[in-house]
Amino acid sequence: MTTEQYHGRLRRLGVRRLSAAVTAGVIAVAAVLVAPQPATADTPWLAVSDDRYATFTVPASYVQEQLGTVSQVVVEGNFGPSASWAEFGLTRRGDAWSGVLGALRPGLYHYQLTADDTKTIKDPTNSTSVASHPLWSSFLVAGDAARWLGDAPAGTGGAVASLTYRVRAEQRSALVWTPPGYSARGPKRYPTLFLESGADAAVSDWLDLGRTKQILDNLSAAGAIQPMVVVIADSADDRELTDLRRAVADTYRVHRDPAHQAIAGVSDGAARAVRVAFAKPGRFGYVGWFSGDSTPSVDRKDAKAINRDVKLLRVYTGNVTDAGHNPTYRLTKALDSAGVRFAFDGVNPDGGGNWTTWQENLVDFLPRLFRPGSDHGPTPGHGQLTGEFTPPPAGTTPTPFVTEDGFVTFETTTDFTAAQHVTVWANIAPGGSWLRVPLTRDGDRWRATIGPLKPWFYYYRLIVDRVPVKDVSNPTRVTTEPMWSTFLIPGPEARLLTDVPAGQGGKVESMTYSSTVAGQDRTALVWTPPGYDPDRAQPYPVLYLQHGGGQNHTDWVEMGRAKQILDNQFLDGDLTPMVVVMGNGNSSDFNRELLENIVPTARSRYHISSDPSQQALAGLSMGGGQAFGVLRAYPGRFAYVAAFSAGFGSGTGVDVAAINNGTKMLRLYVGDQTDFVYPSFMTSLATLDNLGIRYEFDGVTPGPHGWDVWQKNLIDLAPRLFKR
């Protein structure tokens, strides 16, 4: 059963109209049809650290028991850019599928476990639930940006109850929040806010995903909102809303006049709220549009009545990934044309059409209700709504299509019309970790727009029904990873990764040498600085820069952007003119390969120094381990040594004095907790400390065992060489 079919079944069951309690009962039955019932488990599958890293550890035996033999397990959740739905792949390590994702932005996350694209289970160790999606669990990442989403202190919050009412002889249910101190008796009456759900949302989603109770409780405790009654419903039409309002007025101590009535909604609930408010302007004094999915008609002849009776119409939208972005633009144009006053919150640059965005909308909207307010301008940091967003027609542009503000549209060729599941796997998670973003079928192609991505260098491949595929529409190539394609999002943060003007950069040349270790000719790439002069009196210092496991001499240029980094730093005046040799480190004896083959050939072809004080050795991962190996075996041969994401090893047989005396700089780098060598690296620091070896540690570089980290490491290292 597909997700669309499942949601369709829930809608046919009337889930959107049910209270949380009733919804949970209906979906408990539906869940049996979707996945095996989870067994209890003692050890949590999810752990969230104080620094916002989420570690997933899923027992392989449980997966086997519930789903049979599988080839992949992913965590699906709102982890993607703009809180979009994405897949985080887990790695089979021993008896568990595991992975670390982060650092996550503060907020509420929801997720499920899926194997082989179609077999989904709930995390049985997480007691949270989402009534409309029985396989989802949730977790809150604390932080200032999520301060309204946590539970209020016990005894300080309001209460949520179910309200039953009738429409055309049919029974309906709504959820009602009453503020702290509310009493069904007494003279005090309260204003009312009606919150409408959307087409693909259940009423209970306002609580499970929108955190509406927590938001109301916390804003109430802070004195930021007027005490009010909040009614959460899904009114299919004006008649149903009328009957609901009557039931609320009959059941709760609320004001009945329009000045004390507000309505807002998400998606088609937003469009419905505006349409209802405009149809009879005297009913609601406050109206909120959260990413409406269609544009209600606005007649100029109604403008006078609307402007008189509606005290505030506030319009919200996310960025171009929000399905409500274009309808919101059309609404603002229609309102302007009709002369209807409204307040626009501005385009949320990092928000899509989802509950993460709508939580922020609700937090902004609530304090504006039922009280005078002088400032209804955009939220700081939000942008202008300049027009509709429409990617180029399918097949008319190379993929990916990148906008100036970092939104990226991926599109397949027509080769996958029979595919069932297509994703883009890319380094788009926090720090450059990898996520898979599902594409949507668009005619005979698959397509998706994601973002905004920060300016940087990205690499990706398509995954079609679990098979890696090269994006043949993208001409970029990676020698060691034929399925990868790359693209660059320009911007100030990525300036050092960008090509310098033609003719101003250094040169990259191939250097062939005979390997006595491999017994064959091999190749290195050599960067020479702009103005390189083979006849100058002083030989150039040299950096030998090594790649990692599974890579070769091409990776530092094709993936590490070494040429662009060195070119830009040289033109900036930050780099000592040097020669950089990127050799092939795939060798059974790297020490011999380097010292007997790569170094002598480089000296014979280029005007470089043989003085140890003018030589540097650095590498990433395997190459970092090789650099450490040379340092241990030949201390003092290279005055500058650096290792990126690599461990030193044991302290046995180390000549500490020779290393300290012969090394001007030993500089170390590592990624964060998502870098799998992080634990062994930290052990290495303790080893070096115990031995008394002098070193510099740059501190953790945010990101995984990947190129985002290593590019930043080279950017930091290169200007430090040959300056002491």
Q: 162-185, pLDDT tens digit by residue?
A: 999 998 888 999 999 999 999 988
pLDDT over 90 percentage in the chain? 88
Can you read off the two tokens belonging to residue 625? 């381990």
* Tokens linked to 306: 């609307």
H-assigned helices in 33-159: 60-67
Q: Indicate the pLDDT class of residue 6, thresholds 50, 70 and 90.
A: very low
Q: Exposure pattern of 523-533 as b/e (b: 16+ CB <10 Å)?
A: ebbbbbbeebe
Which segment of 111-115, 235-239, 327-331 scores lowest on mean pLDDT?
235-239
Element (H, E) at 55: strand 54-59
Mean pLDDT within 434-457: 97
From the number of C-beta atoms within 10 Å of its C-beta (0-12, 13-18, 19+), residue 407 rates as buried
Burial 235-259 (b: 16+ CB within 10 A, else e): beeeebbebbbebbeeebbbbeebe
Question: Residue range 13-26: average pLDDT?
Answer: 32
> Could you say which DSSP state residue 612 is in?
G
Give me the mean pLDDT over the 287-298 stretch. 95
Is 624 a residue whose pLDDT tops 80? Answer: yes
**pLDDT at residue 37 greater than cutoff 60:** no
pLDDT tens digits, 334-346 = 999 999 999 999 9
Query: Are 192 and 93 within 8 A, CB to CB?
Result: no
> Residue 532's pLDDT is what?
98
The reported pLDDT for the residue numbered 86 is 98
How far apart are alpha carbons 566 and 273 in whole angstroms?
57
Calculate mean pLDDT across residues 34-61.
80
What is the spatial distance between Cα 383 and Cα 349, in angstroms, rounded to a whole number?
A: 7
Measure Cα distances from 724 to 540, 569, 611, 614, 615 in Å: 15, 18, 14, 10, 12
pLDDT for residue 719 = 98
Which pLDDT score, from 0 to 100, does residue 41 have? 53
pLDDT classification of 27: cutoffs 50, 70, 90: very low
Asked if residue 154 has a cis previous peptide bond (ω within 30° of 0), the answer is no
E strand or H helix that includes residue 660: helix 656-662
Q: How many CA atoms lie within 13 A of 559 on its CB side?
A: 25
For the segment 372-384, the average pLDDT, to the nearest whole number, is 90
Q: What is residue 616's predicted lDDT score, i.e. its pLDDT?
A: 98
**Does 724 have pLDDT greater than 80?**
no
Choice among 186-195, 597-606, 661-670 with the minimum mean pLDDT? 186-195
Tens digit of pLDDT for each residue in 473-522?
999 999 999 999 999 999 999 999 999 999 999 999 999 999 999 999 99
Start-to-end CA span in the chain (Å): 65
Q: Is the pLDDT of residue 26 over 70?
A: no
Lookup: tokens for 474: 């993208």
Helix or strand or coil: residue 600?
helix
Of 185-189, 199-203, 647-651, the range with the lowest mean pLDDT is 199-203
Residue 380, classed as helix, strand or coil, is coil
* pLDDT value at 16 more than 60: no
Q: How confident is the model at residue 7 (pLDDT cuts 50, 70, 90)?
A: very low
CA distance linking residue 164 with residue 166, whole number of Å? 7
Give the residue, 9 or 619, on which the prediction is more confident.
Answer: 619
pLDDT tens for 556-613 read 999 999 999 999 999 999 999 999 999 999 999 999 999 999 999 999 999 999 999 9
Contact 162, 131 (CB under 8 A): no
Task: Work out whether the CA dihedral 7, 9, 11, 16 comes out positive or negative.
Answer: negative
Preceding peptide of 372 cis, ω within 30°: no
Q: What is the residue-averaged pLDDT of the chain?
A: 92
- Look at residue 395 in the predicted model and tell me its pLDDT: 85
Which is it for strands 696-701 and 665-671: parallel, antiparallel or unpaired? Answer: parallel
Secondary structure of residue 500 in the 3-state scheme: coil
Q: How far apart are CA 140 and CA 355, in angstroms?
A: 13
